[in-house]
Each structure stands twice: as structure tokens, then as C-alpha cells.
Amino acid sequence: MTRTWRIASTADASAARAAAGRAAALCGAPAVERARLAASVGGRLRQCLTKGGTWALTLEVSASPSGRGILRVVVAPPPEAAAAGEIPWEAELAVPEPGRAPSTGGPASADPAEALLGADEDTAVVLEKLAEQEALVAFHREELHQTNQGVLALHAELDAAGRAQRTAFAAERRARNEAETARRRLTFLADASVVLNASLNLDEIVRRLPELLVPDYASRVDVWLFDDEAEEAHPGSHAAAAVRAARTGRPQYAAAHPGGLPGVDDQPPSALDPDRPLLCVPLLTRRAPLGVLTLSPPGERWAPDDAVMLIEFTRRASIALDNARRFEHNRDIAETLQRALLTDLPDIPRLSLAARYLPATHGLNIGGDWYDAFRGPDGSLITVVGDVTGHGLHAAVMMSQLRTALRAYAVDHSSPGRLLTRLHQFLHHLQPDLFATAVIARFHPGEPTLTWAAAGHPPPVLRLPDGRVRILDAKPGAMLGIPLHQEIADHTEPLEPGSTLALYTDGLVERRARGIDPGIARLAAALGSFEPGELDAEPESSADRLLSPLLSDSERDDDICLLLCHLHG
């Protein structure tokens, strides 16, 4: 179906628009589509009337094999407008029933009133559809609003949960940092205690105090010991807070502002250094205060927990210093006693004696090693080297008692074996829990023999005049003082002029890593290395030369005692 209308006036345009709407209705187009088509055609025709001239509107309905069709509206311009470049306007509408379109022919008359009523019906349908859409839009708008409210509430909950989580993370981080700091303080205290108690040297402990604290917990450390001889010789000034700490026995904090440290009294700034805060902690012991430890903070001030840790550190340092002082006191007493008991060697014709005693480099340094040489009632020379188990003042006292008992027993002309047997009985009854070893050698005047006996002691070493060395390893007796009845036997060796006998304690030859036998072999080799005339000329220097290769290691866990007896050629 194809129809054409000439449009030159408003009536022509109204009729053409009404015809387009009626054709769309006949072809079964929906009311909304009809209204949209009528509005488009009306708007275009209004523009055509404004431009003037006679325009042509063509309606064309074409059908497809499937039964559906297309309603096409073409508005062609007048010839003069087409020559000026105006192009036709087209609009298409898919219609379900193209066969119902009016048959082709000339222009059909259209009642404008009827067309207007039809347009109103279509407009009413459009408005109804529009109302439905507005209601749907309002419904969806409400749904969207509710959704937005839910999203906002969810965001608020998520934000609150995020803040709570961040707060929890921050609290956990703080707790972890505090736990790590506390662990670091405890580790420092444990390590510092090991360092402070590893030595019994007072000067070394005082030297280590600043090394332990600077720079982590203090920028400066001053140690004030009350009986420091160097400080007495060169007295210096101390902060008022340190003096008050010494008098009251309480820690003092001197600064321009209160420190707020637990267990610490606040004091004004020190006049000696007003810009530097000071923490003065007394070095207290059970007997008497030793001094004051004065610290300066590594930063502006200390945290309260750091101050508590420093006070505990000072307490442990006080214990270490007190132990070192008591150790040095006992060592001085024991060393004085032992030196007093190591008497001068006698002068014997044709017989040279040389003795050496070296304390251990570890521990109390004073043990029960001793040597002695004295004349017997028959004119013989009795030499002895012994070793009481243990160290310290008790061992030194026990050594003096054995030495005195031996000299008393030697009055009745007893042999070395008999002397050791009587010492064994004496020690067993006097100190059942204390033991000793000893070796005794007797030189007989005018006789080329040597009588000796040993009880649990390393064997004597004898150098012959020709340089050969013998280890006198005849079976010795057991240790003195053990709960065992024993009769210690004597041994006799030929003694030629030019011979040298070495008596010693196990500290000279025994090493933990190698045992005692290699040490005895090294002693024999060193004794055999002397030239024939060296031992006759300088017995004292020979003793030092003999010790030199045996003391290559500077650290000794035991005392060393050596007695050289050389018979001149």
C-alpha cells in the first residue's frame, strides 16, 4: 500500500498526520508506537510548513513472507529545496498486520476531529503506560533507596569493624612490643648476671659495668666504691643525689622535672651537671653498702620499667662485687698463710736444692700444694712434696697441719714409707672427708742410695749423671686419708754423684685434654736436655728453665710445686 499527500497548509499536514496514525492503527501497531510515530510525523510536518513550499508525504506498507511488515513514512522536500540540498525525512514502524492497511489509491479524506480523538486515545494509553512506568520507577526508586540504606548501614558496620580491628591490631602490636621489650630486659639481666659472676676480680667487674650498660641503657656510668684506694688518694666530688643514695640506701633521681620512677626518690638537678638527669642507685649488700652506681639516660629520660630493670641490675652487680671482695679477702689470707709455710731450703754440703711454687690462675688460686726439706736426727736430708685436695683457706690450713705432723714424726728416725703411713692414719682420724697425696725422698749422708716412698702421688723423676732419665714408677701407696688400712712401702735407688731428682705435684704435668702420662714424659725430656755441668753451676736457673717448656699454656686450673735435688759430681 502506498499513498502520497501534498502538504502545503496546516489542513494538509493535519490530514496527513491523521492518515499516518490511522494506517498504523489498521496495521495493528501498539498505541505507544502509534503515538510515537504520530508525534514524529507531526513535528516534521510542522518544520516543513515553517520552511514553506509544497512537500510530499508518502505512506508505504510492505509485507514480508513471515506475515509481518514495515510502515514507512517519507516526507520529500519541494524541488527547489531538494536542489538546495534538502534530503527526504523517513520514519519506519514495524507492524504485525500489514494486510489490514487501506488499499492504494488517491488521497483519502480524514476527519480531523476523528483523528484528534484517536490521538487522544493513543495519548491516554501512553499516559497510562507512563503512569505504570512512573509507578515502577517509584517502586524501584524505593527499592534502591532501601538498598542504599542497607549499603550505608553495611558500610557503617564495616567501618566500625575496621576501626575495631585497627584498634585491636594496635593493641596487639603494643602488647607485642611491650612483651618483646620485657623479654629483651630479662635477657639483658640474665646475660649481665653471667658476665658479672664469671669473674672474681673486683677491678674487672667494675670495668665491665659501663660496657654492659652503655649505650642501650645509659650514656654514662660512674662507679663510686667507698673503700676505693685510688679514690682515697685522689678524692673527687660526687653528686648530692649520690651522697643521699649512699646515706639512705634508696635510689635517687636528680633532674629538673620529676622522673615518676617506681621506688625512686626525686631530687633537684645536680649542681655538678644540672643539664644531665642522674639516677643514683646504692650498691647494697647484707653486711654494708659498697658504693653508688650513677647513671645518665641514653635519651631524655628512662621509662619506668627500664628504671626497675636498672635497680635490679645494680642489685646483682652488688652481689658480684661483694663476692669478689670476700674472695680477694680469703685469697689474701690463704696466700699469706701458704707463703709463711713455704720455708727456706736448708744448705746441705754437696747437695743443691731449688723449689718453685706457682698458684693456679683460675679460682681461689690457693691450694694445698707444699714442699719441705729438713735434716733428720741422723743427719739425713728429708725432702717432701705433697698436695691436699681442694683449694682455699681450708686446704692451706690442712697442708700446714700435715707439714707440722711430718716434721714431728721424722724425729724418731722413721723411713719415708713409715712417715707416709703415719700421715695417712693422722689425716684419716683428723679429717675423714679430706685426702692428700705425697712423696718423700731421703738422702743418706755418705751413702750412694736414695730411699723414697709415695702415696697416690706422681712418680719422682731421676736424671742420671750421663743424661739418661728414669721415672721411679714403683708401686706407690694409696691416697692419704682414704678409709683403708695400708702400710706404705719404701723403695731404694742407687744415687751417683751428678744425679738430679725432681719431685713435683700433678699440676705441673696433668692437663685435662692430654692426661698425666704425656706430661710426665715431657718433664723427663726437659730434665734430660741439660748439659752435665749446668745443674752443678746454677740450680735456681735450672728450675726456671725446667718449668718453661711445661708452662706453655698460661691458664692453669691447679697449683704447681717443683723441688729439684741435685747431688754434685
Q: 73-94: per-residue pLDDT in tens?
A: 999 999 998 888 899 999 998 8
Residue 435 placed within a domain = yes
State the cell numbers at 428.
Answer: 684419716
Residue 157 placed within a domain = no
Q: Are 250 and 282 in contact (CB under 8 A)?
A: yes
Q: Do residues 17 and 96 share a domain?
A: yes
| Angle in degrees, CA 412, 414, 420, rounded to 5 | 125
Backbone phi and psi for residue 508, each to the nearest 5 degrees, phi listed first: -75, -30
Quick one: residue 498, left, alpha or beta (phi over 0 = left, psi -120 to 50 = alpha)? left
Q: Can you state the angle between helices 112-197 and 31-51, rounded to 10 degrees?
A: 110
pLDDT at 104: 45
Q: Do residues 382 and 312 share a domain?
A: no
Q: Do residues 425 and 492 share a domain?
A: yes
Q: Which of 79, 110, 141 lies at the terminal end of a domain, its last residue?
A: 110
Give bridge partners of residue 58 from the DSSP assignment: 4, 74
Query: What is the C-alpha to C-alpha distance for residues 203 and 291, in angstroms, rounded to an integer?
Result: 14
Residue 179 placed within a domain = no
pLDDT at 436: 92
Q: With H, G, I as helix, E, B as strand and everything else as coil, classify residue 6.
A: strand
Q: Is there a cis peptide before residue 494, judged by omega within 30 degrees of 0?
A: no
Residue 183 placed within a domain = no
- All residues at 6 or more sequence positions from 552 whose CB lies less than 8 Å from its CB, including other chains: none
pLDDT at 458: 94
pLDDT at 208: 92
Type of residue numbered 314: T
Could you tell me the residue range of the domain that residue 246 belongs to? Answer: 199-335
Q: How many helices (H) and strands (E) does the chain have?
A: 13, 19
Q: Which of 282, 312, 335 lies at the terminal end of a domain, its last residue?
A: 335
Residue 150 placed within a domain = no
Query: What is the C-alpha to C-alpha distance for residues 198 and 208, in angstroms, rounded to an integer?
Result: 11
Q: Do residues 228 and 324 share a domain?
A: yes
Q: 347-357: per-residue pLDDT in tens?
A: 888 888 999 88
Residue 347 placed within a domain = yes
Residue whose C-alpha is closest to residue 438's, from 532, 507, 369, 523? 369
CA 9 to chain centre: 102
Specify the DSSP class assigned to residue 365.
Answer: S
Q: Do residues 360 and 467 share a domain?
A: yes
Q: Do residues 503 and 415 share a domain?
A: yes
Q: Which of 80, 110, 140 lies at the terminal end of a domain, its last residue?
A: 110
Q: Do residues 463 and 559 share a domain?
A: yes
Quick one: residue 201, left, alpha or beta (phi over 0 = left, psi -120 to 50 = alpha)? beta
CA torsion through residues 403, 408, 411, 416, sign:
negative
Q: Do residues 267 and 354 share a domain?
A: no
Q: Do residues 556 and 437 share a domain?
A: yes
The number of distinct structural domains making up the chain is 3
Residue 270 placed within a domain = yes
| CATH number of the domain encompassing residue 226 | 3.30.450.40
| pLDDT, block means (10 residues), the chain with 569 residues | 88 86 86 86 90 91 82 92 90 84 50 61 75 86 89 91 91 90 90 89 91 90 80 63 91 90 91 88 87 91 90 93 87 71 80 85 66 89 90 75 90 90 90 88 87 95 92 90 91 91 91 82 91 77 85 68 88
pLDDT at 103: 57
| CATH number of the domain encompassing residue 423 | 3.60.40.10
Residue whose C-alpha is closest to residue 556's, from 281, 351, 296, 361? 361
Residue 553 placed within a domain = yes
Q: Do residues 508 and 364 share a domain?
A: yes
Q: Do residues 438 and 518 share a domain?
A: yes
Query: What is the C-alpha to C-alpha distance for residues 178 and 201, in angstroms, rounded to an integer?
Result: 36
Q: Do residues 450 and 355 share a domain?
A: yes
